[in-house]
Amino acid sequence: MSRQRQSQKRATWGRVAILLGGLLVALPLISFGVGRQAPSLDSSLEALGFVKFEGKPIAPDFTLPDLSGKQVRLADQRGKIIFLTFWATW
């Protein structure tokens, strides 16, 4: 078999592999998306273990130092969005 024929054969199989790979990715997306309604945010959060509070939960007031050492009270931040991260090195 000539080199040109081998090269054409490899190129054809490469295209087939790309097509099959695309189908493997697309078929689950298509099959799950057809005729189904997207899950609601509440059901997704519940599936992850989040609990929805009834009413407005109020955190107890506390004071912590910021990065510069200045004391910051939670009550002084009322009305703002607060993101707390608790981490440890072990």
For residue 88, being part of any structural domain is answered with: no
- Domain residues for the domain of 35 are 3-77
User: Nearest to residue 66, comparing CAs of 77, 57, 51?
Assistant: 77
In this prediction the pTM is: 0.34
Q: What is the pLDDT of residues 27-71, one digit of tens each?
A: 565 555 555 666 677 777 788 888 777 887 778 899 989 889 999
The number of folded domains in the chain is 1
For residue 82, being part of any structural domain is answered with: no
37 and 27 in contact (C-beta within 8 Å)? no
For residue 86, being part of any structural domain is answered with: no
Query: How many residues are given for the chain?
Result: 90
Q: What is the pLDDT of residues 68-90, one digit of tens each?
A: 999 999 999 888 888 877 788 87
Tell me the Ramachandran region of residue 54: left when phi exceeds 0, alpha when psi lies from -120 to 50, beta otherwise: beta
For residue 42, being part of any structural domain is answered with: yes
